[in-house]
Amino acid sequence: DNIQPGVAHSIGDSLTYRVETDSATDALFTGHRRYFEVHYYLQGQQKIEYAPKETLQVVEYYRDETDREYLKGCGETVEVHEGQIVICDIHEAYRFICNNAVKKVVLKVTIEDGYFHNK
């Protein structure tokens, strides 16, 4: 409760975190190359559809400035509940499916060079 929703915090370029409240469904899958994401659910539940990126079709090519690429296709779906964690690997793309509002902490952790540059 000490972190305001929507405000991003960072420890150098190695780790960023924010609290997110969300009730929207993503139309496209999102993929990353420099950061993997960890989602810890504080309230609510949400479905996540995920797939290996090589099984999806690219809609918007990767942009280094945003560390994002957008894809379409079909994947496997799991439901995540309060107190659970999801790790979104850089080899997979994901999209969130919401029926109700959720509150979660989202961490972005760098995979570049395998260590924290600012430590």
How far from 52 is each of 37, 88, 116, CA to CA, in Å?
15, 11, 26
Per-residue model confidence (pLDDT) at position 78:
96
Do the domain assignments include residue 119? no
pLDDT tens-digit series, residues 14-44: 777 667 787 778 899 999 999 999 999 999 9
What CATH number is given to the structural domain containing 71? 2.60.120.370
Helix, coil or strand: residue 108: strand
Q: Which domain holds residue 102?
A: 9-112
Q: Which residue has the tokens 């924290």?
A: 116
With a threshold of 0.75, does the pTM exceed it?
Answer: yes
Question: What digits encode the pLDDT tens for the residues 47-87?
Answer: 999 999 999 999 999 999 999 999 999 999 999 999 999 99
* SS3 at position 54: helix
Residue 3 lies in a domain: no
